Amino acid sequence: MHSTATPATPATSATPAATAVTATHCPYCALQCGMGLTAGSDGGVEVVERAAFPVNKGALCGKGRTAPALLSSRVRLTEPLVRSHATGKLTPATWEEALDRIADELSRARAEHGADACGVFGGGGLTNEKAYALGKFARVALGTSQIDYNGRFCMSSAAAAGQRAFGLDRGLPFPLADIPRTGCVILVGSNLAETMPPALRYLTELRENGGTLIVVDPRRTRTAEQADLHLAPRPGTDLALALGLLHLVVAGGRTDEAFIEERTAGWEEARAAAMAHWPELVERITGVPVPQLRETVRMFCDAEASMVLTARGPEQQSKGTDTVGAWINLCLATGRAGRPLSGYGCLTGQGNGQGGREHGQKADQLPGYRKLTDPAARAHVAEVWGVDPDSLPGPGRSAYELLDALGGDIKTLLLMGSNPVVSAPRAAHVEERLRSLDFLAVADVVLSETAELADVVLPVTQWAEETGTVTNLEGRVLLRRRAVSAPDGVRSDLEVLHGLAERLGHGKKFPTDPQEVFEELRRASAGGAADYSGISYERLREGEGEGVFWPCPRGEEGEGSAEGVRGARAVHPGTPRLFLDRFATEDGRARFVPVAHRAAAEEPDAEYPVLLTTGRVLAQYQSGAQTRRVEELNAAAPGPFVEIHPRLAARLGIAEGEAVAVVSRRGRAVAPARVTTAIRSDTVFMPFHWAGEGRANSLTHPALDPVSRMPEFKVCAVRLEPVESPSGTEAAAPTDKAEAGAPTGAARAAGGPGLSGQG
């Protein structure tokens, strides 16, 4: 398999020869599939199979195959852009001009309003080195507490539930290779066939080996079609479903009393909570028939080993932490955790969603998954950083709360690797808050919808043009290798942070070499929950580049050091499987957490009688800022749509392909109808990859989970309306009144937005 891109700058002498194959990883989802890059016959970059990498064994989806297309100078940013005070337009500028402008604005905001007037927003696609440096930059160079990242929108509820139950969050506490060897998998709210296609083979192999697959999803997706049993609950009721299953486990005498006694705590309270959710009540809440509930319990408990895997479906809810906790309770009560081939796991979504939340760009965390409120953690990290622990700010706002505060006490924002104009809930409101800032700076590969609003846009390197580590959904730390040079005029995010820190008086604390940053990250993470201290670039380059699972502490004889000194007996092998001997709590016992079903933040009513749920499609990724620039992917998925059941479509008089407006209390989106029996008749579905009138997140609810602060993307109340325009292009009119076309800050007074001098 291969794919060629338009020409990119060939590797320099510091990188592998142009004819060689550089072993690296896909820039998209958290599988981090292995791939090879080599020079194509047309002077571009070609993707070749890397069959030895164990996660995907050479298989790639269309996004991975076409990833080199983004290396072309025709579709990406290649020079800084600064908004002119005179014209209000973004115009090309030198790097010195751009960095000076950002540093001046940050300094002005700090001087006039205090350090917390400066906000920082990161992304789950940043490498470990960049995420680490960004968190350090916020707390050391700016002294602000106002930093968070878009990973808060992705897997934070599962992380919170894992911390609460196991004392540690790692997406999968076992390798993907264990999935085909278990007996039964309950897959909750995940459509792997479209979101992580190479991972579908693990479920196929499970069934080939005699195991069973149960899929929980309100839609009959391509993944659900592979299942032995498909449960289609009403959106927002996954918590009741899990509690009903646990009720049946208890009532049927299927609990593992020895495991509960020896390895858990809190069972009595959790059991009592579950027993209040009897099967008939759960059927009324979820719409899942009692016989299907009973069959699920039979399949799950009859198997010698079983797993529950969750994704965004149950997590992106205002009760997502409790929902995931209920599924964990089911695993603990049946002894399906802390044992070989059994357990609970979260299918992390973003490319470095796991590592991105471990090393400091999250509002309440320091590197190594340390708590920002822990005095010992502050002292350890402050020593590595060479600062006074008391100088480190405390926890700041979570992602949506930070975005909601823009233009209030947060006057300026530095944003890296995120596109909240498309990806944030209540997106029209978030767009308006971004416009209300005094100053916005964005570092990105492309001119995203968010970058279009910025006062300064910085063009940065991407995956094939830089070396750095990422941590996939298994907790496998991997090395992405630089294969080509970036175009002239493009710098790395580490160089951006160094340049800004230098102007703010902290340049020496921010190296630009990723290996040097990783060495510091190792020291900062040492002794933490996510301990990377025994992992080095040298070690990650060894063998087939299969990576090292954290935690991996540094041994007595310095294994994994930059110098390569390694004691054979002291080398820590990494930890592919967690919790087999004890959980990561103080006493080694997992914690049951009693939870009870409660309604979504917004239920249907007479005015908004239909439920909306959102998700992804195969050919696009996240906000679409990159994939919408790839011709092959756009041909496969050219635009948004609204999935509607035939009964609902008939009742409303909506025909296949007809433009329909979906309206919530927060906004309005317009897209063509896709009439299908794959969706519940009380629910509609929209993918969230597009901006403009088809922006699904104009509709979504920002209600936050009280523990994880995850917004409720997966359920809100809407109504459907016909669109009068025969072309179906009537403009969306959000109820959150954004100033149409207005830029941020001083440019607002200078005549509005625009872009000049950029091809």
Question: Among 38-47, 431-440, 491-500, 663-672, which stretch is predicted with the lowest mean pLDDT?
Answer: 38-47
Least confident of 526-540, 571-585, 664-678, 724-738: 724-738
User: Quick one: pLDDT at residue 559?
Assistant: 47
> How many CA atoms lie within 13 Å of 351's alpha carbon, on the beta-carbon side?
26
Contact 615, 688 (CB under 8 A): yes
pLDDT at 757: 28
* Strand ordering across the sheet containing 548-549: 468-471, 476-480, 548-549
Residue 351: predicted pLDDT: 86
Taking the C-alpha atoms of residue 355 and residue 343, their distance in angstroms, rounded to an integer, is 21
Distances in Å between the alpha carbon of 635 and those of 192, 393, 620, 629, 630?
A: 21, 47, 11, 11, 9
Count the neighbouring beta carbons within 10 Å of the beta carbon of residue 7.
17
Lowest mean pLDDT among 365-379, 416-430, 471-485, 722-736: 722-736
Average pLDDT for 84-106: 97
Topology of domain 156-347, per CATH? Dimethylsulfoxide Reductase; domain 2 (3.40.228)
Tokens of 482: 């630089």
How large is the average pLDDT for residues 737-744? 38
The number of beta carbons lying within 10 Å of the beta carbon of residue 580 is 13
Helix (H) / strand (E) element for 416: namely strand 412-416
Percentages (nearest 5) of helix, strand, coil residues in the chain: 35, 20, 50
Say yes or no to pLDDT of 520 above 90: yes
Cα angle value 503/504/505 (rounded, 5°): 95
| 408 Cβ contact list (under 8 Å, min separation 6) | none
Tell me what pLDDT residue 745 has.
54
331 within 8 A of 343, measured Cβ to Cβ: yes
Tell me, what's the pLDDT at 19? 62
How sure is the predictor about 320, in pLDDT bands with cuts at 50, 70 and 90? very high
What tens digit of pLDDT does each residue of 351-409 get? Answer: 898 988 899 999 999 999 999 999 999 999 999 999 999 999 999 999 999 999 999 99
Interatomic CA distance for residues 53 and 623, integer angstroms: 28
Tokens (6 digits) for 501 = 């820190």
DSSP letters, 149-195, are EGGGGTTHHHHHHHHHHHS---S-SS-GGGGGGSSEEEEES--HHHH
Q: Please state, in angstroms and rounded to a whole number, the distance separating the CA atoms of residues 549 and 149.
A: 24
Question: Residues of the chain with pLDDT > 70: what percent?
Answer: 91
pLDDT at 542 (0 to 100):
86
Give residue 273's Cα distance to chain centre.
Answer: 31
Separation of alpha carbons 202 and 231, rounded Å: 20
What's the confidence (pLDDT) of residue 235? 97
Side-chain-side CA neighbours of 277 within 13 Å: the count stands at 30
Question: What is the pLDDT averaged over residues 63-87?
Answer: 95
CA distance 337 to 79: 51
Is the N-terminal amide bond of 551 cis, ω within 30° of 0? Answer: yes
User: CA nearest 702: which of 405, 303, 408?
Assistant: 405
Residue 569 has pLDDT above 90, yes or no: no
pLDDT higher than threshold 90 for residue 557: no
How do residues 188-229 score in pLDDT, each as one tens digit? 999 999 999 999 999 999 999 999 999 999 999 999 999 999
> Does residue 677 surpass a pLDDT of 60?
yes
Q: How confident is the model at residue 571 (pLDDT cuts 50, 70, 90)?
A: confident
Whose structure tokens read 């008089």? 653
Task: Write down the mean pLDDT value for the chain.
Answer: 91
Decide the pairing of beta strands 668-675 and 659-663: antiparallel
Q: How confident is the model at residue 738 (pLDDT cuts 50, 70, 90)?
A: very low
The yes-or-no verdict on residue 13 having pLDDT over 80 is: no
Residue of 3, 17, 8 whose CA lies nearest to 71: 8
25: phi then psi, degrees, rounded to nearest 5: -140, 150
Annotation: CATH topology of 81-153+352-549: Rossmann fold (3.40.50)
Beta carbons of 455 and 439 less than 8 angstroms apart: yes
Long-range contacts: 372-378, Cβ < 8 Å, 24+? 377/528
From residue 41, alpha-carbon distances to 18, 34, 46 in Å are 11, 22, 8
Predicted TM-score of the model (pTM) = 0.91
Query: Which tokens go with 750?
Result: 């200078």
Tens-place pLDDT, residues 613-631: 999 999 999 999 999 999 9
Q: Using an 8 Å Cβ cutoff, are 476 and 451 in contact?
A: no
Domain boundary assignment for the chain: 2-71, 81-153+352-549, 156-347, 610-722
C-beta separation of 241 from 225 below 8 A: no
pLDDT at 725 over 70: no
Least confident of 30-44, 353-367, 501-515, 630-644: 30-44
Taking only the tens place, the pLDDT of each residue in 275-313 is 999 999 999 999 999 999 999 999 999 999 999 999 999
> Helix 514-525 vs helix 128-136: angle between axes, to the nearest 10 degrees?
70
The fraction of the chain above a pLDDT of 90, given in percent, is 87
pLDDT score at 40: 79
Give me the helix-helix angle, 493-503 and 95-113, nearest 10°.
Answer: 50
Residue range 610-722 in CATH 3.40.50.720: no
List the beta strands (DSSP E) in 431-475.
439-444, 456-459, 468-471
- pLDDT category of residue 524 using cuts at 50, 70 and 90: very high
User: Is the CB of residue 405 less than 8 Å from the CB of residue 120?
Assistant: no
pLDDT value of residue 751? 33
H/E element, 371: strand 370-371
Interval 467-476 mean pLDDT: 97
pLDDT of res. 263 = 98
d(CA 247, CA 258) in angstroms, rounded, equals 19
pLDDT of residue 741 exceeding 60 = no
Under 8 Å between Cβ of 170 and 578: yes
Helix (H, G, I), strand (E, B) or coil at 424: coil
Q: Band of the pLDDT at 39, cuts 50, 70, 90?
A: confident
Helical packing angle, 279-286 and 238-251, nearest 10°? 160
In tens, the pLDDT along 132-184 reads 999 999 999 999 999 999 999 988 999 999 999 999 999 999 999 999 999 99
CB atoms within 10 A of CB 278: 15
Rg (CA), the chain: 25
Q: Is 581 exposed, middle or buried (0-12, 13-18, 19+ CB in 10 A)?
A: exposed
CA–CA gap between residue 492 and residue 695 (Å, rounded): 30
Closest Cα partner for 398 from 348, 364, 445? 364
703, amino acid identity: A
**Please, are residues 253 and 606 in contact by the beta-carbon 8 Å criterion?**
no
- Where does 2-71 sit in CATH, by number? 2.20.25.90
402, exposed or middle or buried, with CB in 10 Å at 0-12, 13-18, 19+?
buried
